[in-house]
Structure 1
Amino acid sequence: MSYDGVSTRAVMRSVAFLTAGALAVPLLAACGGGEDEAGKPLAVQQISPAARDLVADGGSLRWAVDDVPDTFNTFQADADAATTRVAQAVLPAMYRLDANGRPERDADYLESAKVVETEPQQVVLYRLNQQAVWSDGREIGAADFAAQWRALSGKDSAYWTARNAGYDRIEKVERGANDLEVRVTFSRPYADWQSLFSPLYPKDVMGTPDAFNEGARRKLRTTAGVFTLAEVDRKNDRIRLTRNARWWGRPAKLSEIVLTAVPRAKRAAALAAGTVDLADIDPADAARVTEAAKGTAGPRAGRPGPAANSLKAALAKASTAAREESDEYEEDGADRRARAAKKLRKAVATWEKQQQTLKGFEVRKSLEPAYTQLAMNGESGPLADERVRRAVARALDRTALAGAVLTPLGLPADPVGSHLALAGQDAYADGSGALGGQDTAESQALLADAGWVAGGPVVEKKPGEKGAGPQRESESEGGDDGTYIVGDDDKAPGAAPAGKTPSDDASAHAQDGKQYARQGGAPGAYAPKGTPAPGGAAGPLAKDGKALSLRFVVPSGPGSESLRVVADRVTRMLAKVGIRTDVTKVPDESYFKDHVASGQYDLALYSWPASAFPATDARPIYSKPVPAADGSLSVEQNYTRVGTDQVDQLFDQALSTLDADESRALLRKADSRIWAAAGSIPLYQRPQLTAAVKNLVNAGAFGFQTPVFEDMGFLKKGARVSPSPTAE
């Protein structure tokens, strides 16, 4: 899981959960049933495809990643996106994803795999490629499969594993009729058996707890991919992958791939400095690269834009530096102006040089195999009531929210219709009809049914009570849209504005003879009862003396601008039905761990990756919390704390049938019930923007597909390729 630019998938946390009564939901049928509902991906990949005979032999690809990973073991809790990228290049995988997000057999490792028995037990027979060997020359075989099963089965707590799904259903792994066959027998039927043994680690990594826990954290001695892990330079934050001399398939075109850790905020500078060839970037940097290629920004272009904004920022920085330096030397006015002019000229020259370098890059764009959702914490408070969650959902115009992020990028802005799959994948079907679309009247009716009424009296807290007293205002933007933005260290929502007590405001309002429904916003943010709110907003709602206010937590980092845009639009949509929001900006590093995973939020925006195996991978995200050994409730990865027995049962049934059509139908029915419970609302598929040097081919915005490392490379001199298809 991640929000824009920050991975959180590896964080595993058990959180105390207080169950709340849920409304009875009528039995929901699955939406449709045919595979044709999956359709095609909303956006095709853009990788500048080229035939191998057009690709030069050799060369080094410098590829920006977020970090040098703490571990190279993808089955450990702190594995991240860079861990996965290395594993894709250097380790076997029985199945990989195609451009439609569907699993396909990797013929370099697997000649065939099929279920050969179903009674009395499910048995899968793998026939391995006879040329497949580890980098030490040993054949890939049953011993490696067996070691991985034992490590990940969950039966030995000495193995510090982050996930065991599927492996815990295996009863035994055996050698088949010969060394190229592996028989896997399951104790319980398992529909997602194709998800297993991808990646596959050698037995020397999986064979003992010590080797599993520590041996593969800092290095991988034995590999079996197109590339091998040649060097891990943590001092300079880079990893070097080189051609595998024992590779039996199509040889890699590139001599090496250098994965370099570059923070998102510094990627435009790294591209401009010519130190990376390929990097995922944010929308502002993508616009700057595009403008540089077209020559449509800068002092002489006469056209404002992100690139011009970056120049403005550079000039402001240079001006500040010149002023501080002249203050240090106590220079007079003339010297100060001369120094400032020199700094500004240098900044302009540097910026123009960067733009010249950026002309050599292009932006390749698609949609990530991940979607952003609005999560609602159903643990306690107003959102513990399913009617309020449904009211929030019915207040949202999901098409408008998707358009706010994707339309400016030229990407299709269709809202996501499933929690479990994305368009193009087998399990996809639009299940949002189980909840319903945007409907202001229905949203207000749900709130009224839950007891939240406009103009209801609000009980003021007395001095000394929890929540009473002054509240420091930080980045405050109290306004008619019902929002109040506070910093990470501000006090809880409900306190009065800085410098005032509740009685101060009450006295001021009493002078007008009018009653206010207040919750502690900026002065003047709330109109007297009966005054129409601008922009069509509804009056504030209250129940049992408390105003309806939801704490909306958003990340504050430079890579999360789009989430803040969406959060702003959501607050305005909610204000129209009378729901107030306290928008709290928190640092990126604490956003997920300290707020989402620990339940310190009412509303939050974060993303889940799509999976080709949703019955396995999505179950912990939507499963009903269960009692833990210490008396608390374990939520697994269900950070909304909303779950039902019916959804759990449907997942179990989908996992236990080997009929693909039946499994798909069960998953779609589960998705309908997840929609109806309204714990999370899928909004849009995340944009994927990648800057690539123009002569780099078969690499870029991959979309669903697992990268094909052996085909990546640089065009031969004089070679030409057809333009990449558009994202739409």
Structure 2
Amino acid sequence: MIRKTALAGLAVLSAGALMLTACAGGTTSSPSPSSSASPESLPLVGYETVDYGDLTDGGTLNLSVTSSPTDEGSWNPNHALAANVDVQRLLEPTLSSMWVVADDGSWTANPDYATSIELTSESPQVVTVKLNEKAVWPDGKPITAEDYVATYAAAGGAADGYETVPSSVFDAIDKAEVVSDFEYTVTFKGAYADWPSLFLTPVLPADIAKDKEAFNSGFASEAVPSAGPYVVDSIDNSAKIFKLVPNPNWWGANKPKLDSITFKVIAQETLPQAYSNDEIDAIEIQTPDALETASAKAGSVVGRSGGVTWSHLTFNATAAPFDDVNVRKAIGMAMDRELIARVANEPLGAPATTLGDWIFMPGQAGYSDVFDEKIGSDPAKAEETLEEAGWTKEGDSWTKDGKPLEFAITVPAGTQSNINRALGVQDALAKIGVKVTLNEVPSENYFTNIEAGDFQAVTFGWQGTLFPISSAETIYTPADSPQNYARVTDDRLADLWEQANAELDETKRLEIAKQINEVIADFLPSVPIYPYPEVVATDEGLANYGTATFKNIDWSLVGYTE
């Protein structure tokens, strides 16, 4: 998965890592998944697709983010501080994309960057990449094999002091080698089923990737060189406005249609009004009020699709009361996840679907409602579990060793969808006598607090990738993984994930994933709640941009029809 967010996000892909928000030998394409990663009643693509020749030339696309790369601390797309959906969204038009991802999640080599990406050996497992020799950096220098090899070394260089996003794909690599200026190979230590996830890593110039200081701190407030159809033209960190323009050296098949893309940092609670006032041309819909406001705008088009983002309640398992797994399980049993899902999704015109799996989404091959099998929704059993754990109910509250059973859910101020989930937990727990309060913090501090462990419970969203098994690993193991916010694990997981990542037989691999889910249910670092529907409103005439389950945006095709 990618990183965290308090919101749902547009499809953003990253190298086998989860984003916070609050995916056979000799082939260059992937098999199509057996089903979508979202409720079947939602489409895989929710926006209008228009041929390049039917788009007009010019126009400005005004978009919003709730936090900028400068706010988060890095414009380097492979830096740990950039592993945030808003940061990646802003940078995406400037980044390389080695795969073209289709509606159904299948992938083929992107000819703008690679003429072929092939598994050329299975023992040892070797992938050979041949690059498009026309690809260049903004200064005109070719984008070469050395750039990619250096980027992979940096992105996998946490042990050497590189500040990176954890991803199991880099641990699986034995070596990456330059064959020639425009060809390189990647050899894996053993069989690694999700090897295509490596090629979601945005490329950096080799001189930046090889310089640890530049990688870590050289781009705190300025952009790295672009490898995409757009370049960063201006950065106004005071006004929090960031302008992208077409890359003058773009070599791709299609010249970008837009004159510019402008991103502006806008607080979540004011986004609907900003869209209504024509300050921005698109908005992600999180609440019924936002949907009503967006729908009332003249010419507004609302699109819906399934997604790979999911909500949860994560516990800080290092401190009372959640250092007791039985308390965590009791809270999970007492939660009315179905009601929370209905409140969140149905007013947005999307089906309410609960989530019972820590890896897959409903409808996706491998999905199983393990939470219901192992934990279930049963307030009476929740009370029995608390009694067995030594808690005593006195009147309408629980105590143990003279201390009451109560906790706070930390939420970002103004993010209503996040707050609503917390209120749903609060209402359900009140029915069994557990007091839950909401701890509102400024949205810009929200994830900083989470990463510091300054919370008892939180409910944000994980946005997944095309490779859910390998990408989920760092959320649950090891205990000190930067993305393991519960800070607890089970010793069985490391071996199970090693088996899953090395298993090329898909049926056997899914069986191992089921075992992983069952182990996670045993120590319950989090309670999965529901998958987010993706709902986006755009101005009429905007094409090839919006919401999709898997399909990645081709920024050279984003434009207007009138």
Q: TM-score range by the shorter chain?
A: 0.7 to 0.9
Q: Which residue of 1 aligns with 2:458?
A: 604
Amino acid at match of 1:237: K
- Counterpart residue number, 2:543: 697
2:187 alignment counterpart? 185
- 2:75 aligned partner, one-letter code: F
For residues 396-442 of structure 1, give each alpha carbon's deviation from its aligned partner in whole angstroms, at most 9, with x where no partner exists.
23211100111111111101222113245555433224424322332
Deviations 1:74-111 (A, max 9, x none): 12132143431244312222235444456553233223
2:532 is paired with a residue whose SS is: strand
Q: Which residue of 1 aligns with 2:406?
A: 550
CA distance in 2, matches of 1:442, 1:173: 53
TM-score, normalization by structure 2: 0.84
Does residue 277 of the first structure (1) align with residue 216 of the second (2)?
no
Out of 337, 342, 345, the residue aligned to residue 398 of structure 1 is 337
Q: Deviations over 1:58-80 (max 9, x none)?
A: 22212222244223211213214
Which of 415, 418, 424 in structure 2 is aligned with 1:563? 418
CA distance in 2, matches of 1:223, 1:104: 22
Residue type at the aligned position of 2:493: V
Counterpart of 2:243?
Answer: 240
Moved more, 109-118 or 99-108: 99-108
State, as a whole percentage, how many aligned pairs show the same letter: 28
From 228, 233, 238, give the equivalent of 2:231: 228
Counterpart for residue 322 of structure 1 = none
Choose which of 125, 147, 167 in structure 2 pairs with 1:122: 125
In the alignment, the residues of structure 2 paired with residue 237 and residue 644 of structure 1 have an alpha-carbon distance, to the nearest angstrom, of 43
How many Å separate the matches in 2 of 1:171 and 1:552?
A: 44
**Unmatched 5+ stretches in structure 2:** 10-17, 21-31
Instruction: Write the letter of the residue equivalent to 1:142.
Output: A
Distance 1:600 1:59 in 2: 44
Equivalences for residues 67-86 of structure 1 within 5 A: 67-70=67-70, 71-79=74-82, 80-86=84-90
Q: What is the Cα deviation at residue 657 of structure 1?
A: 3.2
Q: Where does residue 302 of structure 1 map in the other structure?
A: none
CA distance in 1, matches of 2:413, 2:215: 35
Match of 1:452 in 2: 391
Partner of 1:58: 58
**Selected match of 1:108 from 106, 112, 129:** 112
Q: Which residue of 1 aligns with 2:27?
A: none
Distance 1:155 1:394 in 2: 38
The residue identity in structure 2 corresponding to 1:115 is: L
Inter-partner Cα distance in structure 2 for 1:692 and 1:391: 42
The one-letter code of the counterpart of 2:267 is P
Q: 2:172, 2:189 → 1: CA distance?
A: 6
Structure 2 counterpart of 1:141, from 119, 144, 154 = 144
In the alignment, which of 304, 308, 311 is matched to residue 369 of structure 1? 308
1:3, 1:605 within 8 Å by CA — same for their partners in 2?
A: no
Give the distance between the partners of 2:292 and 2:142, measured in 1 at CA.
Answer: 49
State the alpha-carbon separation in 1 of the partners of residues 373 and 546 from structure 2: 37
Aligned-partner residue type, residue 459 of structure 2: L
| Residue 88 of structure 1: aligned partner | 92
Q: Distance in 2 between matches of 1:237 and 1:380?
A: 37
Question: Structure 1 residues 635, 169: closer, same or farther in 2, change over 3 A?
Answer: closer
Give the Cα separation in 1 of the matches to 2:202 and 2:363. 23
Distance 1:415-1:563 versus aligned 2 partners, 3 A rule: same
The question of 1:576 aligning with 2:431 is answered yes
The structure with the greater share of residues assigned to strand is 2
Shift of 1:682: 0.8
Matched, 1:422 2:361: yes
Closer/same/farther in 2, CA of residues 572 and 211 from structure 1, 3 Å limit = closer
| Residues 100 and 424, structure 1, Cα contact 8 Å, conserved in 2 | no
Displacement, 1:553? 1.9
**Compared CA separation, residues 259 and 580, structure 1 to 2 (3 A):** closer
Structure 1 position 679 matched with structure 2 position 533: no
Distance 2:253 2:389 in 1: 63
Does residue 494 of structure 2 align to residue 637 of structure 1? no
User: Is the partner of 1:58 in helix, strand or coil?
Assistant: coil
Q: 1:382 to 1:91 in 2, by over 3 A?
A: closer
Which whole-Å CA distance do the structure 1 matches of 2:333 and 2:167 have between them?
37
Partner Cα separation in structure 2 for residue 433 and residue 403 of structure 1: 17
TM-score normalised to the size of structure 1?
A: 0.66
Shift of 1:374: 1.3
Q: Report the Cα offset of residue 683 of structure 1.
A: 0.6
CA RMSD of aligned residues (A): 3.1
Secondary structure of the corresponding residue to residue 118 of structure 2: strand
Asked whether the 8 Å contact 1:100–1:425 carries over to 2, the reply is no
Q: How far, CA to CA, are the matches of 1:40 and 1:688 in structure 2?
A: 10
CA contact (8 A) 2:322 2:328 kept: yes
Contact 1:101 1:425 in 2 (8 A): no
Instruction: Quote the Cα distance in structure 1 between the aligned partners of 2:37 and 2:81.
Output: 35
Q: 2:443 aligns with which of 588, 601, 606?
A: 588
Task: Give me the whole-angstrom Cα distance separating, in 1, the residues matched to 2:409 and 2:429.
Answer: 15
Question: Does the residue aligned with 2:308 lie in a helix, a strand or coil?
Answer: strand
Task: Tell me the amino acid that sits aligned with residue 174 of structure 2.
Answer: E
Contact 1:267 1:281 in 2 (8 A): no
Provide Cα deviations, 1:210-260, integer angstroms capped at 9, x if missing partner.
442344444456433222333333344333222234322223222322222
* Structure 1 position 143, deviation (Å): 1.0
The letter for the 2-side match of 1:438 is S
Residue 491 of structure 1 is matched in structure 2 by none
C-alpha separation in 2, matches of 1:434 and 1:158: 42
Query: 2 CA distance for matches of 1:113 and 1:439?
Result: 50
- Tell me the distance in 2 between the aligned counterparts of 1:113 and 1:615: 22
Tell me the residue number matched to 1:479.
none
For residue 196 of structure 1, give the secondary structure of its aligned residue in structure 2: helix
The verdict on how the C-alpha distance between 1:110 and 1:401 changes in structure 2, with shifts beyond 3 A counting, is: same
Structure 1 segment 234-633 matched on structure 2, within 5 A: 234-245=237-248, 246-283=250-287, 284-290=289-295, 292=296, 358-423=297-362, 425-455=364-394, 517=395, 539-547=396-404, 549-555=405-411, 557-559=413-415, 561-594=416-449, 596-625=450-479
1:93 and 1:635 mapped to 2: Cα distance?
Answer: 27
User: For the pair shown, which has the larger CA radius of gyration, 1 or 2?
Assistant: 1
Q: 1:606/1:83 Cα in 2 relative to 1: closer, same or farther (>3 Å)?
A: closer
Q: 1:155 to 1:278 in 2, by over 3 A?
A: closer
1:547-596 superposed Cα distances (whole Å, 9 cap, x missing partner): 4x22122326122x2333332332232233343334444443444433x4
Which amino acid is the alignment partner of residue 497 of structure 2?
A: F
Deviation at 1:193, TM superposition (A): 2.1
Q: Which amino acid aligns with 1:369?
A: V
The alignment status of 1:649 with 2:495, answered yes or no, reads yes
Report the counterpart of residue 175 of structure 1 in structure 2: 178
Which of 540, 550, 556 aligns to 1:710? It is 556
Aligned 8 A contact 2:191 2:501 in 1: yes
8 Å CA contact retained: 1:422, 1:610: no
Match of 1:343 in 2: none
Partner amino acid for 1:172?
K
**Contiguous gaps of at least 5 residues in structure 1:** 12-33, 293-357, 456-516, 518-538, 626-633, 717-728
- Aligned-partner SS, 1:378: coil
Q: Count matched residues.
A: 532
TM superposition shift of 1:266: 3.1
